[in-house]
Amino acid sequence: MTNTFLTPQCLPLFVVVLLGALPGTAVPQDATIQSELEALRKQVEELSNLAVRTQSHIMVDVEYHFSNLWFAGRNEQWELASFYLRETDSHLRWTVRVRPVRSIRGGGSVDLQPFQQSIEQSGFAQLESAIEQEDVDEFEAAYRRTLTQCHACHQATGFAYLEHHIPEMPLSPLMLQPE
Ligand code: HEC
- Give pLDDT tens digits for 114-151: 999 999 999 999 999 999 999 999 999 999 999 999 99
pLDDT at residue 173 in the model: 76
Q: Is 56 in the pocket of ligand 1 (CB under 6 A)?
A: yes
| Residue 159, ligand 1, Cβ within 6 A | yes
Q: What's the chain's average pLDDT?
A: 85
Note the pLDDT of residue 28: 65
Measure the CA–CA gap between 62 and 154, rounded to whole angstroms: 13
CA of 98 to the centre of ligand 1 (A): 13
167 within some domain:
no
| Per-residue model confidence (pLDDT) at position 96 | 92
When divided into structural domains, the chain yields a total of 1
Does 14 map to a domain?
Answer: no
- Ligand 1 pocket check for 116: Cβ under 6 Å: yes
Provide the 10 A C-beta neighbour count for residue 154: 17
Provide the pLDDT for residue 24.
Answer: 53
Q: What CATH number is associated with residue 102?
A: 1.20.120.290
Give the ligand 1 atom nearest the CA of 99: 12
Nearest C-alpha to atom 32 of ligand 1 is from which residue?
63
Question: For residue range 13-69, what is the model confidence (pLDDT) as tens digits?
Answer: 444 444 445 555 566 678 888 999 999 999 988 887 777 678 888 999 999 999 999
The pLDDT score that the predictor gives to residue 55 is 83
Residue 15 lies in a domain: no
In a domain, 176, yes or no: no
> Above 50 in pLDDT, residue 165?
yes
Question: Does residue 125 lie within any of the structural domains?
Answer: yes
Count the neighbouring beta carbons within 10 Å of the beta carbon of residue 173: 9
- Classify residue 164: in a domain, yes or no: no
In whole angstroms, what is the distance from residue 34 CA to residue 25 CA? Answer: 19
Do 66 and 88 form a contact (C-beta atoms < 8 A)?
yes
CB 110 within 8 A of CB 104: yes
Q: What is the DSSP letter of 136?
A: H
Confidence band, pLDDT 50/70/90 cuts, at residue 2: very low
The pLDDT value recorded for residue 120 is 97
Closest CA to ligand 1's atom 10: 154
Check whether 12 has a pLDDT greater than 70.
no
Give the distance (Å) from ligand 1 centre to CA of residue 154: 6
Q: In this structure, is residue 42 part of a structural domain?
A: no
Q: Which domain, by its residues, includes 114?
A: 55-156
One-letter amino acid of 177: Q
147 in a domain, yes or no? yes
Of 71-75, 166-170, 173-177, which one has max mean pLDDT?
A: 71-75
Please indicate whether residue 115, judged by its CB atom, sits closer than 6 Å to ligand 1: yes
Pairing of strands 101-103, 109-111: antiparallel
Q: What is the pLDDT of residue 65?
A: 96
> Does residue 164 line the site of ligand 1, with CB under 6 A?
yes
